[in-house]
Structure 1
Amino acid sequence: MRRLRVLIMINVHTYFQGPICLPNGLRWFEWPECPGIPEFSSGPKKLVGLDLHKSNIRVVREQFKDFKMLKSINFSECQSLECMPNLNCTPNLEELDLHGCKNLKHADESLAHHNRLRLLNLSGCSELYDFPDVLQSKNLELLNLNHCSRLERFPNIPDKIKSMRGLYLIGTSIEELPKSIENLVTLEEMDLRYCKKLAILPSSIYRLPNLEMLMLEGCSKLVKFPKEEEPSDSHMTMGFRKLYVLNLRGCNLSELDFLENHSSFQFLRALYLLGNNITNLPTCELLHNLLWFDVSYCQQLQEIPQSSGQLSHLWSIGCESVSRFAPDNVTLEVNFPPTNGN
């Protein structure tokens, strides 16, 4: 079948004997739940997609070195996989999906410098602890490390990456972000929810001018949110120019003085502070564009000041210490708010 371009094998569980010979013109090969990694006697030189999700793969052998045209690899939910493939063998790779590989322990160093990689999904790799020290994949758009619960360190980013839109680190064991996080200059979403060891955020996060959503819910060791520092270069862009959702529910903050810099939070629409140790709130003049405001279970909060801006929804469930409640032009909600600002 020399003209065969797509081969999809569903519910084929027979264990193969010997190498597989595939047409050189094959573009897409998909074999979910494959009983073992195929051994190819002759490689399909034009293969762009390889999908072996839920297969019994433990180690990726070197036969993939001939697949220079590969753009997409899906080895997701391969429960026996311990090491990811060496991406130097696939210089054109754009998408690598290894989510749910629960025994994956090592991320190959080759991903740190891969020039074409756009999507890297390692979500749910709960045994992953070994990740490259640096990240220089200049075309990376999305990095998903959600629920990599053994991962304790985020890589240094020595050079600007002008393509990344989303960084997802939910439930990791990361204790701090590097100062070089500022080099993710196009980042729009950063999700650090339930990173229960996260204690330090660098002030360099204010150099993420395109950040729209910053999610820190459940970071119980975070006792202080950084203040914006004065730039050493007067021409340097600082501040959150596009941030509209800041989720700090379940953190351990006692002060909100970082909000006093109006220029950094002028577009903030949703601010979630549930369960923090704050006693005072910033004046709403500083947050004049705020629409949704959650201070529920801030049990040391003394006063909720008058609103003169656009505030329309306020959640203040369980604020037993509040002695003065001034807002008269907002809707007092009894149910919990959405956490994403939608």
Structure 2
Amino acid sequence: MKYYGRRVAFYAITLWAAVSLNFFIPRMLPGDPAQILIGKLARNGDVTPAVEQNVKLILGGSDEPLWNQYWAYLNNIVHGDLGISVSKYPEPVWDLIKDALPWTLCLVGAATIIAFAIGIVGGAWIGWKRGSAWDHVIPFTALLQSVPYFWLAILLVYFLGMKLGLAPISWGWDVQTYDHPEWSWASIVDVFQHAVLPALTIVLSAVGGWLVGMRNMMVSTLAEDYIVTAEAKGLRPRRVLWVYAVRNAALPSFAGFAVALAFVVSGSLVMEQVFSYPGIGKLMITAVSNADYALMQGVFLLTTVAVLVVNFLMDLIYGYIDPRTRHHG
């Protein structure tokens, strides 16, 4: 229980520190970000006193004491009030994030899980068959991993999308047919088709790292005494592979997977930009290009919380899988 108590305390303090930084950083910037934002909002229409006060609360510039601003900011976050977007005025930041988040979670999350599963299973098999022809798969996946992300996406768009016409090359659905995706079979198939090339880009770029890491861990694990003992006892090779070798070799990969899964919510900036995919990554690019401080802070806060939550869950799972960590964590 001490292990879990320390984990809860650590992540609670880290979350508080991240939220506090999200509050103080705009107030340390040169100039007055709040007045800049209010000026941009004024060009799009009338700025009500409530909106002006909300902007000052988020970015600084309020006449209230800093301590009062801080507590009001925390209260707004608890109630889901992240401010008003400049680039999508007068849309609330939370509404924009809420609309973009499912696209990123479904696409980037699924692609990350697929790449991890292929890498772990494939790496375990290649490590088990070390020295065989299967080792030739490693250089090919390493080559795919070394190709710049945006270049790989452009190649897939050109060859699979434009030349062969195997999948749509942009956006998340057919905007000429649907204003918004619908809960119909035709619309679901359409959304799936639009996700093929972006997902393939992520899988091809990521699978090489998991494959190499798992293969190397398998080779190291297979040299351990308990593996030699299991083989000497006459256990079936399949049991030695999956129960003894893979379970222990995969532990470091699970730690890395936690980090990769946590950053899913931040989207894939390059992929979403190349394919104009309506996820969090494209939303962040929009926020940066329009100096939309409120939206940038909202995405940053969401990413931070997601990273902490996923890593906390993986710590709990890791402590269950490997009891040794509970005595050293």
TM (norm. structure 2) is 0.22
- Greater share of residues in strand: 1
TM-score (norm 1): 0.22
Larger relative CO (CA 8 A, sep 6+): 1 or 2?
2
